[in-house]
Chain A
Amino acid sequence: QQQVKQSPQSLIVQKGGISIINCAYENTAFDYFPWYQQFPGKGPALLIAIRPDVSEKKEGRFTISFNKSAKQFSLHIMDSQPGDSATYFCAARTQGGADGLTFGKGTHLIIQP
């Protein structure tokens, strides 16, 4: 059973546009929701993370929106740049973190110049 569903699988956005990636979760015990960016041949890099006590978190061009009642969260990349082209993974973790992260299937993002 996939506990974190991510969409879309792939996304093409024009330079300067807004990239939006969505995730939905099932386990209400999840209390930490990070996003990772991964370039080919590299390990995932932590981009931004949120906890369910806030509805939005912004860091530079990256914003997480969180809807606890709908059990959904999304990543918005403003003013998307070709250098943002990568695979993005949402993830979730239960309180305590002893059981690691559960990842979505990933979104392959291409920013066209």
Chain B
Amino acid sequence: SAVISQKPSRDICQRGTSLTIQCQVDSQVTMMFWYRQQPGQSLTLIATANQGSEATYESGFVIDKFPISRPNLTFSTLTVSNMSPEDSSIYLCSAETTTVEAFFGPGTRLTVL
């Protein structure tokens, strides 16, 4: 298994600002992903964080809005840029182990005013 931590756990931000969320895994993993979850709803994949190269984004998500880095096998960041109230959501980091199992962090609850 993999234990995933995220920072910050929650934040309240002003419109037009940016927030960077950090994700740290306690062991080497093969894949890392970022998801978004509106309260009470399901999870939607934002992008796959690729080590040492540009992330792969899902339809509806773009790099300028959600830049992602993954400098090594156990760490990734997601930035939510130029935020608007519509970006208020829970952002979840996920990591997949060599056994294919995917684990999730506790999430970052973002509120944009």
User: Footprint of B on A, CB under 8 Å?
Assistant: 32, 34, 36, 42-46, 49, 89, 93, 97-106
Contacts and interface: CB of A to CB of B under 8 A. Distances in A.
B46 to A, nearest CB: 9
A101 B101 CA distance: 11
B106 A44 contact: no
Interface in B80-101: 92, 94, 96, 100-101
A42 B102 contact: no
Interface centre among B44, B48, B100, B105 (most CB of A within 10 A): B100
Contacts of B31: 97-98, 100
B45 interface: yes
A60 B60 CA distance: 40
Nearest to A4: B42
A104 B100 contact: no
Contacts of A103: 42-44
Contact of A97 (B56, B96, B104): B96
A74 B41 CA distance: 20
Contact of B41 (A44, A49, A105): A105
B42 A105 contact: yes
B102 A98 contact: no
A43 B96 contact: no
Contact of B94 (A89, A100, A104): A100
